[in-house]
A and B are shown apart, each in its own frame.
Chain A
Amino acid sequence: MSKNQKPNRITRRRFLKNATALGGAAVLGFPMISRSQAKTIRVGMPTILSGRVAQLGTSSRNAVMMEVEKFNAAGGLGGRRIEMVVRDSKGQPQEAARVSRELVNSEGCEILFDAEASSGAFAVNEVARDLGVLCFHINSETSALTADPKNRIPNAFRTARQGVHDSIAGGHYAASVAKAKGLRQWMTCSPDYAYGRDTTAQYLEYLKLFYPQAEVVGEAWPKLFQPDYTEVITKILQAKPQALYSCLWGGDLTSYIDQGNIYALFKATQFFAVNMADYTALTVVKNLPVGIHSGNRYIKTFPKTAANAAWGDAYRAKYGEYPTNWAWESATTANFLTAALKKANSADGKKLAEVLRGLKIDSPFGTDGTITMRAEDQTIIGYAIGWGTTISKEPYMPEVTAGDWKQILELELDWKKRNKYI
């Protein structure tokens, strides 16, 4: 090129060169880019879709789909939509692990939504550890899953309640009722497996911390899925406790209440059932006794916000059933993922994990309208925890006393130190 030529002048050679480059890029490059943009983000979801606790899987799937559809309808991540691949693990940990591996290895899933019960969650956690895939634990409330450093992995996040949080809030509420009503003699009736024993022990620990006068006069440990509670109810009636705690859940809790009603059990004692205030239990009990104390699992009136009520109504309108505790946890998972996708502007697992640590999202299920993914142990805090008493019709739990998250976090820290987790 001579000095007199203008630098931007289009010569025939330059035109041909640029045209060739453009053509080459069009043929070789752009389809790759457009394919990449169109490529869906596949999320694998092992869960329980058959058997006695199939509602765990179906309500988790429903809630996730509802949120994912919103994200996709809004354009996804620069045109990339989320595609859910949901598989039944039949509630068996080894099958949960197998399905998870299959979802990653042969279905091309980049992210796992582990919607298993606790034993399955630990199995999926090991798969996530082995494969290094980003994993959200949606339903497991076992504290050790994220609190115990030996279980913790950088690519796994819990978007479910945590047992110790519920126990602290529940113990504090129970102590305040006990003080007001002079309930000193307590009895427990919880399912005989790890969740039942751990949750009951923690609840009693915090009840006694806040109300040292409380005394446990008896314990009953019915088997999981036990059909007949006559023996247990008779034992409670004979012990005549002033208050009774239970972490029975689902069909077990409703059967227990129906059978307890025959013996007028709940007229003789104050009943604290942490899992009562979930529509799956509230709407199934034949004669729901008035005044059962319960923690909120999911009810659309707590938090008492328009957003929460709207979400509950939308779910019911879409699926013709009430949402469950598992449903809000699943919706929260999808919300965290979509928020992380937008913030990272990428579906890469490592980048997503980075932005997820400490991420705060707006949520209808948060105490103050937000939920935070705590960075140090990758578990959520700030979700709605409250206790109240039930009535037999909507709104089922009209007044709820909210748990104090400042107190929960302080005592949780102390609990972690005692268990040598930190």
Chain B
Amino acid sequence: MKRRGFAFDLGIATAVLVVLVILPILFPSKALIDFAIRVAAFGIFASSLNILVGYTGLVSFGHGMFFASGAYAFGLLMQKAGTSIPTAFLLTVLISAALAVVVGAICVRLKEIYFAFLTLAFQMLLHSLIISWQQLTGGDQGLMGGIPRPPFLGIDLSDQSQLYLFACATLVISLLLMRHLMQSPFGYTLRMIRDNAERAQYIGIRVWRMRLAAFVLAGTFASIGGIIMSLLMSGAYPEFAYWTISGEAIFMLMLGGTSAFLGPTVGTMMLLLLNDVITKFTEYYGLTLGVVILLFALVFRKGVADFVVEEWRRRFGENQA
């Protein structure tokens, strides 16, 4: 079947954005809005991790470092430098990209478990730095005093409904960009590296350079997730840089799937929903979630979106995810 291009994706993205704009009018619930903002933050974060895991074949255990760098860089720029939100947003993305270049240049030359653990080590290094540099970061108490959110271009992000629209737009634009990149020759080069790095190298592809580009892209998008989270929380906390946040992103991929492009976003919704529902009824959140994860890992061996895409292909003969 003929592959659909960017215009089709753009049409879908616009339609989704329209639905998201209408949603709070149909269901005026503050809880729903909060949930959607969190889905936006973690959805971008998990999808960015999938650039590494699903498309490049690099399992990073330290991806949370970029989520944290996004939240902290943005929070500090707003608190200490008093910049406008767009400027802080742009600078944060650049800072995180620079961090990803440095960390990636060291990590991407390694394979599999060594790559995974080195990224974890860098994440824990950042976590220790945040805890120790108390004067700047507030240490284990996080950025205190709230993050200023001055209006820009008539948009007031201290207003929850405007933050919702901003987060939804950022999610849709980020996913569209990631989708476009993964459907480009660059994205297919990453898939080739994932499937057979030696062959890719043999035909002239500089594998480590491509991996580094993927790493920087993933880190940059992850930082956007961190920015949204810091806007919602009006703060940034060292837990954003702890290894468990990277673990949660991997759980999101496991629940949603890595083959389908929207799998990580679906997984994000599932994990957050599980979290919110389970913590309402029991203190044994970890146990319940562990059972669900085990079920996906040992029994299904695929994410929900993977099943949906496979079923779609089976019925309609679609050969593109």
Residues of A within 8 A of B (CB): 49-50, 54, 87-88, 90, 92-95, 97-99, 101-102, 105-106, 118-119, 122-123, 126, 129-130, 142, 144, 148, 150-151, 193-195, 197
Contacts and interface: CB of A to CB of B under 8 A. Distances in A.
27 contacts: A50-B283, A88-B285, A92-B239, A93-B235, A93-B239, A94-B229, A94-B240, A98-B34, A101-B31, A105-B29, A105-B31, A106-B30, A118-B141, A119-B141, A119-B237, A119-B238, A122-B144, A123-B142, A123-B233, A123-B235, A126-B235, A129-B146, A130-B160, A148-B145, A151-B145, A193-B139, A193-B140
Given A101-B34, A150-B145, A194-B141, 8 more contacts: A93-B142, A93-B237, A95-B279, A97-B232, A102-B34, A194-B139, A194-B140, A195-B140
Contacts of B14: none
Contacts of A148: 144-145
B202 interface: no
Contacts of B31: 101-102, 105-106
Contacts of B238: 119
B304 to A, nearest CB: 23
B233 A97 contact: yes
Contacts of B138: 122, 194
B158 interface: yes
The 9 closest A-B pairs by CB, nearest first: A106-B31, A105-B30, A150-B145, A194-B139, A93-B237, A126-B234, A49-B283, A193-B140, A105-B31
Contacts of B146: 126, 129, 150
B227 to A, nearest CB: 14
A142 B283 CA distance: 27
Contact of A88 (B38, B229, B279): B279
Nearest to A104: B30
B131 interface: yes
Interface in B264-289: 275-276, 279-280, 283-286
B134 interface: yes
Interface of B: 29-31, 34, 38, 131, 134, 138-142, 144-146, 158, 160, 229, 232-235, 237-240, 275-276, 279-280, 283-286
Nearest to B71: A94
A90 B237 contact: no
Nearest to B149: A130
B283 A88 contact: yes
Given A50-B286, A126-B146, A193 B235 contact: no
B24 to A, nearest CB: 12
Nearest to B139: A194
Contacts of A144: 141, 144
Given A87-B280, A130-B158, A148-B144, A123 B286 contact: no
A102 B240 contact: no
Contacts of A92: 237, 239
Nearest to A126: B234
Contacts of A106: 29-31
B283 A119 contact: no
Contacts of A118: 140-141
A94 B275 CA distance: 13
A272 B229 CA distance: 42
B38 A98 contact: yes
Contacts of B158: 130
B173 to A, nearest CB: 24
A129 B145 CA distance: 10
B234 A130 contact: yes
B91 to A, nearest CB: 22
A403 B297 CA distance: 58
Nearest to B30: A105
A129 B147 CA distance: 11
B147 to A, nearest CB: 8
A148 B146 CA distance: 12
Contacts of A151: 144-145
A405 B283 CA distance: 40
Nearest to A140: B141
A308 B134 CA distance: 38
A126 B233 contact: yes
Most chain A beta-carbon neighbours within 10 Å: one of B29, B160, B279: B279
B233 A122 contact: no
Given A88-B283, A106-B30, A193-B131, A142 B141 contact: yes
Contacts of B144: 122, 144, 148, 150-151
Contacts of B276: 98, 102
Contacts of A105: 29-31, 34
A122 B142 contact: yes
A54 B138 CA distance: 24
B279 A119 contact: no
B237 A123 contact: yes
